[in-house]
Amino acid sequence: MSDQLADSAERLFAANTGKAVVRAAEDGTFPQALWDAVTEAGFTAALLPEHAGGYGATITEAMALLQIAAAHAAPIPLAETMLAGWLLAQAGLAVPKGVLTLAPVRLRDALSLRRAGDCWRLTGIASRIPWARDAAAIVVLAERPDGPAIALLHPDGVTLDHGRNLAGEPRDTITNDAILADDAVAPAPFGPAQLRAAGAAVRTVQIAGALSRALSLSVQYAQIRVQFGRPIGKFQAIQQNLAILAGQAAAAIAAADMAADALAHGLDPLLVGAAKARAGEAASIAAGLAHQAHGAIGFTQEYELHFATRRLWSWRDEFGNEAEWNGVVGRAVLTAGPDGLWPALTAA
């Protein structure tokens, strides 16, 4: 991504996020000013082809924006809106303005579409949908008798139960019994496995952002907190721990690169799985080390470390954790066999 785009994104999020905004969002106030700024800057449309409202950004650039947003703990459904729009555009459906989200997100949730006259009836429960309560439309993947379909659902058609993840982000359960017009439904560009992979890919990118924040907070703190007559960052034990943390941040950067690559080239499960699993593991190690470096102050609500670490703990579990995705990767590896292993890795 051009330095210019990165700088302007940094400035936008620095100006419109911050502790007060994130806290207010957790308390139930949707950050409209931030959302408007992000929309006006075109970030929400970054994954869209130009004919659908995008501006010619590459997937790598779009993911870089998402990573910056995550580093600022921007409490907005940017990832979801980007991805939902991307799916709609691929299915040839018009992309509405405003907050978009996707369903289902849990492995065992399934929605179905049945013919109802010349309309479609959507039924099923989809739990932990990001920002369903704030969505202008929910993009659902549902099973039709002839295969997976994508549909645009308006929130009036659903019963909503509010929830939040560990990071305080809205995760609402929707119970569906809605009638959708024919033109709101289209054959899906891909099935549930790829939807899960796409979600895993964006969460990987977000983890990289939050992890970089946890690292920089920890390094800063170690440079200013003085004990025994010197900044704690002068002690080897602290230095070694922060070096380990930096290693995990680096691994997460690689995972984010891999995730963007996967999104751009057909969502290869080996590549997505390796990315999400590695990012999840990095998140786990890093969150612990970041708190360790901060001592008690890092454990308070007042200090801002938890905005990053609670996101790490939430996002590592969403769209598949390390056990799930390492299993996918491992089965691919075992299937490739001893002679196919290296070629499979270089082709990923």
Partner 1 sequence: MQALNFTTPPPFDAGAEALRQDVREFLAVEMHDRTPHQRASSWSGNDTGFSRKMGERGWIGMAWPKRYGGHERTALERYVVLEEMLAAGAPVGHHWVADRQSGPSILRHGTEAQRQQILPRIAAGECSFCIGMSEPDSGSDLAAARTRAQRVQGGWLVRGTKVWTSGAHRADYMILFCRTGAKTDPKSGGDRHAGASQFLVDMNLARGGGMTVRPIIDMRGAHHFNEVAIEDLLLPDDALLGQEGDGWNQVTAELAFERSGPDRFLSAFTLLVETVRALGPAAPERAAVALGRLTSHILALRCLSRSVAGMLQSGEDPALQAALVKDLGNTLEQETVEVVRLLVDVEPSEEDDGPPLAAVLAHLVMTAPSFSLRGGTREIMRGIIARGLGLR
Residue 159 touching partner 1 (CB under 8 A): no
Nearer to partner 1, 61 or 134 (CB): 61
**CB-facing half-sphere around the CA of 308: CA atoms within 13 A:** 29
Residue 247 touching partner 1 (CB under 8 A): yes
d(CA 13, CA 70): 10
- Find the largest Cα–Cα distance for the chain: 78
Q: What ranges in 185-235 are assigned the alpha helix state H?
A: 192-224
Cβ–Cβ < 8 Å for 196, 83: no
Coil, strand or helix at 249: helix
Which of 43-51, 88-96, 175-183, 253-261 is the region at the interface with partner 1 (rule: CB under 8 A)? 253-261
Nearer to partner 1, 88 or 238 (CB): 238
Nearer to partner 1, 17 or 81 (CB): 17
d(CA 310, CA 70): 12
**CB-facing half-sphere around the CA of 90: CA atoms within 13 A:** 19
Q: For residue 232, give the nearest of 165, 69, 256, 242 by alpha carbon.
A: 242
Instruction: Single out the residue of 8, 216, 284, 292 in contact with partner 1 (rule: CB under 8 A).
Output: 216
Report the run of H or E that residue 80 belongs to, with start and end.
helix 78-91
The CB-of-113 to partner 1 minimum distance in angstroms stands at 33
The CB-of-302 to partner 1 minimum distance in angstroms stands at 22
Coil, strand or helix at 328: helix
Which of 78-86, 122-130, 143-151, 333-341 is the region at the interface with partner 1 (rule: CB under 8 A)? 333-341
Q: List binders of partner 1 among 21-60 (CB under 8 A).
A: 60
d(CA 125, CA 211): 32
The CB-of-277 to partner 1 minimum distance in angstroms stands at 4
Instruction: Single out the residue of 34, 184, 271, 286 in contact with partner 1 (rule: CB under 8 A).
Output: 271
DSSP 348: -
The pairing of strands 147-153 and 158-161 is: unpaired
Instruction: Single out the residue of 130, 148, 170, 233 in contact with partner 1 (rule: CB under 8 A).
Output: 233
Binding mask 272-301 for partner 1 (x = CB under 8 A): -xxx-xx--x--------------------
Q: What amino acid occupies position 86? A: W
Residue 253 touching partner 1 (CB under 8 A): yes
Residues lying near partner 1 in the complex (CB under 8 A) are found at 60, 212, 215-216, 219-220, 222-223, 233-234, 236, 238-240, 242-244, 246-247, 249-251, 253-255, 257-258, 270-271, 273-275, 277-278, 281, 322-323, 325-338, 341-342, 345-346, 348
